[in-house]
Structure 1
Amino acid sequence: MSSTPGGLPPQTALHTQRATFTEAYAVLPRATMSDITASRLPGWAETRLWVLARPMTGFAETFSQYLMEVQPGGGSDAPEPDPQAQGVLFVTHGAITLTIEGTAHDLTAGGYAYLPPGCAWTLKATEKALFHWIRKAYVPAPGIAPPAPLVTTDQATAPKVMPDTDGAWATTLFTDPADLAHDMAVTIVTLQPGGVIPFEETHVMEHGLFVLEGKAVYRLNRDWVEVEAGDFMWLRAFCPQACYTGGPGPFRYLLYKDINRHMPLGPIV
């Protein structure tokens, strides 16, 4: 898993980094997640976070993504203020106890949870914990009930190898993408050394990509960008994207995308 954020570069450090914000994508290198860029939330004790993505008109509009850091004993008894919001938690460091509708689940690195809208949940860190919290307003579909809560792990979920890749490219699917109850998917993409995404994907889905392990060179719109563990990429709809791995080990990233719904023909209300 990626190194933890925080701290502050020394006065002797060069300011030159890879942070980029364009009309089609943004790259937040791990160095941007310092002490001075951390935020806090009402109702969360012993907690700070880095806001990696938030809905922005004219950019990516469907989701927010937080990188949460919770000290031992910290957490929240009322974490989600929006009854329309669904969420995904993915733990990268430490340990938490997640209680969903009265049932407690102990999660460590690799732990994954889907939290449907209106779900009652609480969270406490049993040791210093770092986890992603991805939030999206649920879009109902006629005749389809929202999904049930789900708790699993990266380790317990077998990756699905992409066709004609000889195992070089695989995706860990925590939920079934054909299940129309879900209007978002959070997966893990794994590329083995030498693996590539060999064409420029160009599609309507918005993306948040947090690099969990390894390094690669990513094609984003018109640019090639080097990324490594701890970096975050934020892609608006139709941003061309491809990559090839650049390290001796696997390249893995946590991926968000919106799925399975009609395109809104006006402002979402």
Structure 2
Amino acid sequence: MTYTFPPGGLPDQSGDPEGTAVFTPAYAVLPACTMRDIVTSHLPGWTDTRAWIIARPLTGFAETFAQYAVEVAPGGGSDTPEPDTRAQAAILVTGGEMTLTIGSQNHTLTSGGYAYIHPGAVWTVRNGGSAPLQFHWIRKRYEPAPGIDTPESFVTSDRDMPVNWMPGTDKWGTTRFVDPADLRHDMHANIVTFLPGGRIPFAETHVMEHGLYVLQGTARYLLNKDWVEVGPGDFMWLRAFCPQACIATGDEPFRYLLYKDVNRHPRLTL
């Protein structure tokens, strides 16, 4: 398993600025080559840290989540990482070593490590190693529901979780860190896997918003009416009901980190 992260750096002056980045009313594509040093942000409450903020709530587009790729230098991190007490988090480590404390529990996460952090949790992040710590961070405000408990935080690893193959195929499956029937959770952050030749054999269209960060491999991806070529480090951002499908290409698995909002009634007012 491999886990891609933004390349950083800066192309030299011979580079061609014409690229494949696109922002439409239905979807956006942020290729890996656009995620350079000059588009990073520094975050209040964090030290020796930079972040690529690749999705944020936008009125009339995708409104439920923010998604970051975060790099922390050795010794850096935060004792107050989350400024919104209503926010929950999903974290996937792609490189380095994370020392994560949730409440009184200490955890060490390395490549493939995954954490869900419940809203209102007291947590800290430190780079406990000698190499840069790199991780993906998804934030969403939790939506309580009557009679349903708030979910608990947990830590696991992509490597310890099975791939749930879709009915009738062993080429398209999902690593689910949360049971889809668990109504405590109003978001899922899954890893989707297509083996070579695998595909979504119809154009999905649904109420869930999506963030899709390509961790490994290549594919042709249908976004609304357009087929785009995507590869490691590319990010796709889909508003609700944007048609989508996928055909894996190449000779290695095509895998991406997928966000979607689930298990709640749509709001009837904005």
Q: Same fold (TM over 0.5)?
A: yes
Which letter maps to 1:208?
G
In the aligned structure 2, how far is the partner of 1:175 from the partner of 1:111? 15
* Cα distance, 1:31 vs structure 2: 0.8
Partner of 2:143: 139
In the aligned structure 2, how far is the partner of 1:4 from the partner of 1:25? 20
* Cα distance, 1:16 vs structure 2: 2.0
Identity percentage of aligned residues: 61
TM-score (norm 1): 0.98
What secondary structure, in the 3-state scheme, does the structure 2 residue paired with 1:155 have? helix
Partner of 2:73: 71
What secondary structure, in the 3-state scheme, does the structure 1 residue paired with 2:159 have? coil
| Alpha-carbon displacement from aligned partner over 1:151-204 (angstroms, at most 9, x marks no partner) | 000000011011011x10010000111000000000000000011111000000
What secondary structure, in the 3-state scheme, does the structure 1 residue paired with 2:76 have? strand
In the aligned structure 1, how far is the partner of 2:255 from the partner of 2:267? 32
Partner of 1:27: 29
In the aligned structure 2, how far is the partner of 1:99 from the partner of 1:137? 21
Partner of 1:240: 243
Which letter maps to 2:159?
Q
Tell me which of 91, 97, 100 is aligned to 1:98. Answer: 100
| Alpha-carbon displacement from aligned partner over 1:54-102 (angstroms, at most 9, x marks no partner) | 0000000000001001011100000011110011111111111000101
Which letter maps to 2:93?
V
Residue 188 (structure 1) aligned with residue 191 (structure 2): yes
Of 3-12 and 48-57, more deviation after overlay is shown by 3-12
In the aligned structure 2, how far is the partner of 1:222 from the partner of 1:58? 19
| Alpha-carbon displacement from aligned partner over 1:103-161 (angstroms, at most 9, x marks no partner) | 11000110100001100100001231110110000000001111000100000001101
Residue 229 (structure 1) aligned with residue 232 (structure 2): yes
Partner of 1:81: 83
TM-score (norm 2): 0.97
Q: Which runs of 5+ in 1 are unaligned?
A: none
Q: Give aligned pairs, total.
A: 266
CA contact (8 A) 2:5 2:69 kept: no
Q: What pairs with 1:25-174 in structure 2 (closer than 5 Å)?
A: 25-127=27-129, 128-165=132-169, 167-174=170-177
In the aligned structure 2, how far is the partner of 1:31 from the partner of 1:139? 35
Partner of 1:5: 7
Partner of 1:200: 203
* Cα distance, 1:237 vs structure 2: 0.1
Partner of 1:219: 222
Two-structure CA RMSD over aligned residues (Å): 0.7
What secondary structure, in the 3-state scheme, does the structure 1 residue paired with 2:255 have? strand
What secondary structure, in the 3-state scheme, does the structure 2 residue paired with 1:217 have? strand
In the aligned structure 1, how far is the partner of 2:158 from the partner of 2:74? 23
Which letter maps to 1:141?
A
In the aligned structure 1, how far is the partner of 2:196 from the partner of 2:14? 34
In the aligned structure 1, how far is the partner of 2:249 from the partner of 2:71? 29
